[in-house]
Structures are given as C-alpha cells and as structure tokens.
Amino acid sequence: NIYFLEGKNKYYPSFSQAWKSCLDKNINLCENSKDNCIILEEWDTKNQVVVLKNICKEEINLDGWSVKDEGRKKYTFKEKILSSEEKLTLLPEDWNETYIWTKTGDSIFVRDKEGKLVIWDSY
C-alpha cells in the first residue's frame, strides 16, 4: 500500500512510481523535514493508537505539526512541547473520530509546521 490503494484503478502503477520517485528525490510533498527527533514509536492500527516519541536531548515544539491518514482525517497540534524522551499518544477521540486507520490498508504522514515530511509509513 503506497498512498494509492492498489487495484482501485488502472493508474495505480503510474501513481505508485510517481510516489516512489517523489520519496527518492526528496521533493514536493515528499520533501523531508530537517527535524529527525520525532519517531513513530508505535502504530497499532487494530487498536487505533499512534505513539510519537522525541528521541533528542532537546524539547521539540510540535505547534503546527500534523498527523494525517491516507484519506481526509488530520490532527494538527496546537501549543504542544514534547520533552526529551517524552512519548505522545494519539487516539481517535483526540481527532474527534471513532476510528482513523482502516483495516484494508492505510498510510500515516507526520509533517512539521512547514508541511515537510517527518514520518511516512504504510501497511
């Protein structure tokens, strides 16, 4: 599952290749953030839990950062500072949703306040 659901339409191979190229070239929507302190500690799609962790010695200001699924669900942080080694758990109720991650496959995008890609994963 690479952002575009396989089998949805005849253009999947083209979209898949474009997404891979975007990631490889580090351009446009795939441009990586210079911040590498935040990691995806846990992504439990069955129980709908996301845990982010600050692995750096300094605190990280997450104000304006976002976590998004493959569809339209998006959570944006407001005035959140993550201390060194601190973990942050996001549940569907934090997003005002009953579920975020689909059973058939999904992607997670974590972006910094400039919209640059910090984390991307897919299943």
Q: Where are the domains of the chain?
A: 1-31, 32-122
Q: Compute the average pLDDT of residues 90-119.
A: 94
Confidence check: pLDDT of 4 > 60: no
Confidence check: pLDDT of 109 > 80: yes
More confident residue, 16 or 41: 41
DSSP 57-80: SS-EE-TT-EEE-SSS-EEE--S-
Confidence check: pLDDT of 94 > 70: yes
Confidence check: pLDDT of 111 > 70: yes
More confident residue, 2 or 105: 105
Chain position carrying tokens 């990691």: 39
Q: What percent of the chain has pLDDT over 90?
A: 69
For 22, the enclosing helix (H) or strand (E) is: helix 12-25
Please check whether residue 19 is in contact with residue 6, taking contact to mean a CB–CB distance below 8 angstroms: no
Average pLDDT, the chain: 90
More confident residue, 113 or 28: 113
What local confidence, expressed as pLDDT, does residue 12 receive?
Answer: 74
Q: What is the CATH number of domain 32-122?
A: 2.60.40.1260
Please check whether residue 83 is in contact with residue 54, taking contact to mean a CB–CB distance below 8 angstroms: yes
* Distance (Å, whole) CA 46 – CA 118: 23
Tokens of 97: 């949703």
What local confidence, expressed as pLDDT, does residue 1 receive?
Answer: 45
What local confidence, expressed as pLDDT, does residue 6 receive?
Answer: 53
